[in-house]
Amino acid sequence: MQGGLSSPGALSHAYVQHPPLRCDIPDIKGLFYDDANKFLVAPTADRILYWKIAASTQSGPPNSDPINEGPILSVRFSLDQKAIGIQRSSHEVEFRNRETGEGCSKKCRADSDTILGFFWTDCPTCDVIIIKTSGLDLLVYEPQSNALRLVESKKCSATWYLYTHESRLLLLASGMQCTLFTGYQFSAGGIVKLPKFEMVMSKSEANNKPVLAAADVHIVTVYGRIYCLQLDRVGMALNLYRFYRDAVVQQGTLPVYSSRIAVSAVDNIIMVHQIDAKVVILYDVFMDSYAPISAPLPLLVRGLASNSKQAAQPADQQSSAYGGTLYGEGWNFLIPDLICDAENGLLWKLHLDLEAIAASTSDAPSILEFLQRRKSDLSMVKTLSLAIVRTTILERRPITLVAKAMDIILDSYSRSMKMVGGAAGVRRTSEQNQQSSFQPVEDSRVVSQEPPGTMIGPVINTDSVSGVESRQSQSNSGVEHGIANLAAHVDRSSLNTSSDSDGIANTSRAVSQATSSSLISDATGKRPQFVGEDSQPLASGTSMQHGTHVASVAISPIEMVQSVFVLVEDEMMGDPAYLIAVIMEFLRSLSKAGLKAPPDLYVMMTALLACSNRYAEIALFVSNKILEPSRELAMQLIELGRQHSLTRKLGVDMLRERCLHHDYVAALLQDGYYLEALRYARKYKVITVQPSLFLEEAVAKNSTPNLAAVLSFFAELTPSFKTTSDYSRYRHILSEMV
């Protein structure tokens, strides 16, 4: 089957990884996905086969459990994996103890009720919840007695339901058009009942009332937030809702180009698959922007996970390896990032091509912010981020743009260190910083502002990653004065010349903003929805996981120096003024973020200033502590002192101030001040300097008293000195001089 496979070399920002998990076993009764345990389940007549889905979908032999024969509508393992629930019909769910093999059933009256489904929960009051057309049954499973105990029944009508374990959110659809929803969240923190709400549906030309299907509603969890995406087939739009404890807010509308869509969530990016068009559109809702981050592009099949640069395979090779069609009829999209091809018995895992996304824009700050929020493929995130900063410098982009890129990198690192260290100074989210109340947009259901309230779970910073304006400046007046002084020597007009790519980036941003504003649904005539003053965003079951990888993604100042400045230094020696200005912006960003610069950076900057014969600025920066004192910097100043004596003195004085006694004594000896060096060594008991250096200097001066004083000093300071050959030799020289 050749249809639907991408052509060789086609550009794409998303792909599925080959080989997939193969589960094409004869005589299976379908494929089911247990999202709570991440099991792919394939029942046969008398057994259940299942695979544990890990980070990679590698094939392997399945595990198996014996079961009784009979029809199977769905299969779910308990959260402790000690029991299996099997829905046998629309009126019966069977529960089986995996250790004893004993079973029990929960049935409902066939003439009055229908079981829509069930799921296991970590709610403290119950273990399993059965969804019926008349409401919910909350049950406790007792494996010792092999029985089910009813805890509570919640009465509400339901035509169909939607549930994901990731969000712990259950939505029950009712009404003539199935647009009225009742919601519950069953989590370890208890039960939260959401207010009833209605989803928006456009009217058809014939004034028919379309019915909302379960396949047109999708629950996704990104950045610890729970969203619901609802396809309006008549209006050809995808409505986006966000859940709070006391409200459900429609936050925007995304365009669709196909009558059939599917939704996935990969690394906090929402993927909207336009199935008829066989393309996928990516959205990043971190900043509440509903403009796509890329153009609609096809989904590709990649060969090896370890080779992210591998191009798409030719269609014939893909066909022979896959044996199916991309976006085929048998594809079932599983939240968050899996695709089950039931016809061919395959399970695919979706991935983002970060390298392709980064290459698709020239807006360096924007793509850096995007990369710093990613958690998958951490080494690739670092590699791309460092390469983008290097390229920005080598292309001599405007200093303001380079400075913004530096702010993004260092702000991300600073925040990650605070999160890892549990510092009390972690900044609050924009939700906490905004006003306690706000007015909804007139005649609009959309609330684009982030509502106030406290997140349940860890704080997720929804400010821009750069966050320069919101950071408290920690720079001292010396730094600012030094930078201002340096600015007078840099031709800003030449440094801020925009390239053609800058114009493209600016145009792209303008188009993106215009597109974003046009995507927000007006929905006039509806009562505005807004969030209460004390409203709290509904926390997902995985919200505690967010932020755990930030420290691995963040780039430290040392990495910036080693992987950016050191690598660009040779190529920038022809224009040291530009690189000096870049380093000054980097120092400014470090100061704002409360971070220390690596000593090697000061050494590099001093060398660049010396190449431009700007020794006066070196003295200014050293005196104002803009160049932080260190042994490395002091030795560099001494080395530069061969061409400028005052610079050498700065280095020698820095050694003394840093109490680097050995190096200071050695520097005094190099300058011929051996008596001063001797007094300093006596005062601070510097025993690491070789006595021969002092003795040779005394002999060179042809001074008998000085040579005698040096011999006496070292004999007193180090008693073992009298047993050395140096003592005997110079004692003999002294006797001859007398």
Cα 667 from Cα 158, distance rounded (Å): 86
Model confidence pLDDT, tens digit, residues 656-685: 999 998 888 888 888 878 788 888 888 888
Cα 599 from Cα 555, distance rounded (Å): 17
Give whole-number Cα distances, 178 to 28, 119, 211, 442, in Å: 33, 22, 6, 28
CB-based contacts of 379, cutoff 8 Å, min separation 6: none
Is the sign of the CA dihedral 268, 272, 275, 278 positive or negative? negative
Tell the burial category of 702 from Cβ atoms under 10 Å away from its Cβ (0-12, 13-18, 19+). exposed
212: three-class secondary structure by DSSP: coil
> CB neighbours (10 Å) of residue 383?
17
Strand partners, 89: 92
Cα 601 from Cα 591, distance rounded (Å): 14
DSSP state of 15: E
- Residue 452's region, left for phi above 0, alpha for psi from -120 to 50, else beta, is beta
pLDDT-derived band at 421 (thresholds 50, 70, 90) equals low
Residue 388 token pair:
């983008």
* 623 and 645 Cβ atoms separated by less than 8 Å: no
CB-based contacts of 680, cutoff 8 Å, min separation 6: 661, 664, 665, 668, 686
Q: Pick the residue with more confidence: 160 or 551? A: 160
Residue 549 token pair:
């990888």
CB-based contacts of 724, cutoff 8 Å, min separation 6: 691
- For range 696-717, the mean pLDDT: 79
Return the closest-CA partner of residue 564 out of 351, 388, 430, 684.
Answer: 388
- For range 166-179, the mean pLDDT: 95
Q: What's the angle, vertex CA 456, arms to CA 595 and CA 553, rounded to 5?
A: 35
Give the type of residue at 581: A
Whether omega for the bond prior to residue 576 falls within 30 degrees of 0, making it cis, is no
For residue 87, the model assigns a pLDDT of: 95
Cα 300 from Cα 352, distance rounded (Å): 11
Residue 718 token pair:
């180090």
Cα 364 from Cα 370, distance rounded (Å): 10
* 115 and 104 Cβ atoms separated by less than 8 Å: no
Average pLDDT, the chain: 79
Any idea which residue has 């099991």 for tokens? 39
Any idea which residue has 């969203």 for tokens? 227
For the chain, what is the total number of helices (H) and then of strands (E)?
Answer: 22, 29
Cα 386 from Cα 569, distance rounded (Å): 15
Phi, psi of 266 (to 5 degrees): -125, 120
* Cα atoms in the Cβ-side hemisphere of radius 13 Å centred on 363: 17
Any idea which residue has 């670092």 for tokens? 382
Tell the burial category of 305 from Cβ atoms under 10 Å away from its Cβ (0-12, 13-18, 19+). middle
CATH number belonging to domain 14-358: 2.130.10.10
Model confidence pLDDT, tens digit, residues 336-356: 999 998 888 888 999 999 999
> CB neighbours (10 Å) of residue 300?
26
Tell me which range, 169-183, 312-326, 449-463, 495-509, is most confidently predicted by mean pLDDT.
169-183
- For range 358-368, the mean pLDDT: 90
- For range 707-735, the mean pLDDT: 80
* pTM across the whole model: 0.76
Phi, psi of 658 (to 5 degrees): -85, 5
Q: Say how far residue 139 (Cα) sits from the centre of its chain.
A: 39
pLDDT-derived band at 127 (thresholds 50, 70, 90) equals very high
For residue 162, the model assigns a pLDDT of: 97
Model confidence pLDDT, tens digit, residues 3-12: 333 333 448 8
Any idea which residue has 């020597």 for tokens? 489
- For range 457-482, the mean pLDDT: 38
DSSP assignment of 581-601:
HHHHHHHHHHHHHT-PPPHHH
Cα 281 from Cα 271, distance rounded (Å): 6
Residue 53 token pair:
């889905």
For residue 692, the model assigns a pLDDT of: 78
